[in-house]
């Protein structure tokens, strides 16, 4: 069986460090591993509209932002098909069929949807489209026969639902769809990167982000304002690591080699942490190391971004070509699905012949 990746992001804002460690970094590695036959990365504009129906301009403007973030982070259009969800109408068709296979109470139990409904004050009136986005996500994944879906932890309930839909579809209509596996970040700190304020999650609406497109000055400012240990007032005081952002970010970003290079007085990050806990290590030193480490990731991205920013028509051309490739792939799955569901009336001569014979006098 072919090894195929599908994943994507809603274009509701620029991508930040949470997106990077949660999924984007892994995608670039998987792309460059050569282990996958096909890789699809989708800008989920239709899904973004499920809770931004009244703000189409926001979605429209952020499609290019996300595309620039992808290309800057190292996604290579020669190896990865980058496309826009709405330009593949087969996905909407597939979702329409899958809705028959899912109950309302099943979607209501989805913890990610529950949280999002609360965050958006949708409790009283949930748009039906928003409520159904987990089902539409199952079509995004299965339309491309994806075997692997690299995503952050919050997307796990969607993959779970997709697997259930695949089982149900294949049971009712015969073996047609490929059942995907989720691929989570392997580093605990990457699973859910907190915001710079120490809050649960880095998120645009909470205003606690460092963006991939931030300038060195903005990155430095973000790191310097990070939540650390409120009890660690003097350098000599013993420090606490729990919820301490710079250390959490170092866990997510810093390699052993970078410790050697930027903080040679320590054998490892663990040794540095032990020093902090003992007392005698100031937040400023930790933040300085983090800034250097982040810059190693972000500087090459900025360079690539600067080039693509000067060729916006070229980026749209990448998206147009990618959308065409994606559409052709999804159309093949839809052919199989229509056949399995017995809605392929015009390409089934046997059906017409048989019914003609039945009525023939
Ligand atoms: N729900 C994802 C997000 O909020 C975006 C998305 C849409 C996606 N369809 C997908 C992710 C399919 C993985 C697979 O970022």
121-144 per-position pLDDT tens digit = 887 899 999 999 999 999 999 999
Q: What are phi and psi of 72, to 5 degrees?
A: -65, -35
Instruction: Name the fold adopted by 216-308.
Output: Tyrosyl-Transfer RNA Synthetase (1.10.240)
pTM over 0.85: yes
164 pLDDT band, cuts 50/70/90, is very high
Domain regions of the chain by residue span: 4-192+311-353, 216-308
Ligand 1: which residue has its CA nearest to atom 3? 9
Structure confidence by residue, pLDDT tens digits, 327-340: 999 999 999 999 99
Q: What is the mean pLDDT of the chain?
A: 95
Instruction: Decide: 8 in ligand 1 pocket, CB within 6 A.
Output: yes
CA–centroid distance, 129 to ligand 1, in Å, is 15
> CATH for 4-192+311-353, among 3.40.190.10, 3.40.50.620, 3.40.228.10, 3.40.50.300?
3.40.50.620
Instruction: Decide: 9 in ligand 1 pocket, CB within 6 A.
Output: yes
CA–centroid distance, 339 to ligand 1, in Å, is 27
Q: What are phi and psi of 212, to 5 degrees?
A: -65, -25
Instruction: Decide: 151 in ligand 1 pocket, CB within 6 A.
Output: yes
In this prediction, residue 120 carries a pLDDT of: 85
In this prediction, residue 191 carries a pLDDT of: 78
Task: Please give the share of the chain, as a percent, with pLDDT higher than 90.
Answer: 90
Cβ neighbours of residue 253 closer than 8 Å, sequence gap 6 or more: 21, 290, 293, 294, 297
Mutate to test the pocket of ligand 1, among 20, 47, 81, 147 (most ligand atoms within 8 A of CB): 47
Structure confidence by residue, pLDDT tens digits, 272-306: 999 999 999 999 999 999 999 999 999 999 999 99
């Amino acid at each position: 069986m072919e090894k195929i990746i599908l994943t994507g992001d809603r274009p509701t804002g620029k991508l930040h460090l949470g997106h990077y460690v949660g999924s984007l970094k892994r995608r670039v590695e998987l792309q460059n591993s050569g282990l996958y036959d096909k890789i699809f990365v989708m800008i989920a504009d239709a899904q973004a509209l499920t809770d931004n129906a009244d703000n189409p301009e926001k979605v429209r403007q952020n499609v290019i932002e996300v595309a620039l973030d992808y290309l800057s982070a190292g996604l290579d259009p020669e190896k990865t098909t980058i496309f826009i969800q709405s330009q593949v109408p087969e996905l909407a068709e597939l979702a329409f069929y899958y809705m028959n296979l899912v109950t309302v109470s099943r979607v209501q139990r989805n913890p990610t949807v529950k949280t999002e409904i609360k965050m958006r004050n949708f409790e009283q009136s949930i748009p039906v489209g928003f409520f159904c986005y987990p089902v539409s996500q199952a079509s995004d994944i299965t339309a491309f026969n994806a075997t692997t879906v690299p995503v952050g932890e919050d997307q796990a309930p969607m993959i779970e639902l997709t697997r259930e839909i695949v089982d149900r579809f294949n049971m009712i209509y015969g073996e047609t769809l490929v059942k995907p596996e989720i691929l989570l970040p392997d580093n605990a700190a990457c699973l859910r990167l907190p915001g710079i304020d120490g809050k649960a999650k880095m998120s645009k609406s909470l205003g606690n982000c460092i963006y991939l497109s931030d300038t060195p000055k903005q990155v430095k400012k973000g790191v310097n304002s990070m939540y650390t240990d409120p009890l660690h007032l003097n350098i000599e005081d013993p420090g606490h690591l729990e919820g301490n952002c710079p250390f959490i970010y170092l866990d997510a970003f810093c390699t052993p080699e970078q410790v050697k290079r930027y903080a040679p007085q320590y054998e490892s990050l663990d040794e540095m942490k032990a020093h902090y806990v003992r007392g005698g290590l100031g937040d400023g030193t930790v933040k300085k190391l983090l800034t250097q480490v982040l810059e190693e990731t972000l500087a090459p991205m900025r360079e690539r971004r600067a080039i693509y920013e000067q060729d916006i028509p070229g980026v749209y051309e990448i998206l147009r070509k990618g959308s065409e490739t994606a559409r052709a792939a999804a159309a093949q799955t839809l052919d199989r699905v229509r056949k399995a569901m017995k809605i392929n009336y015009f390409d089934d001569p046997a059906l017409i012949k048989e019914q003609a014979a039945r009525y023939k006098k």
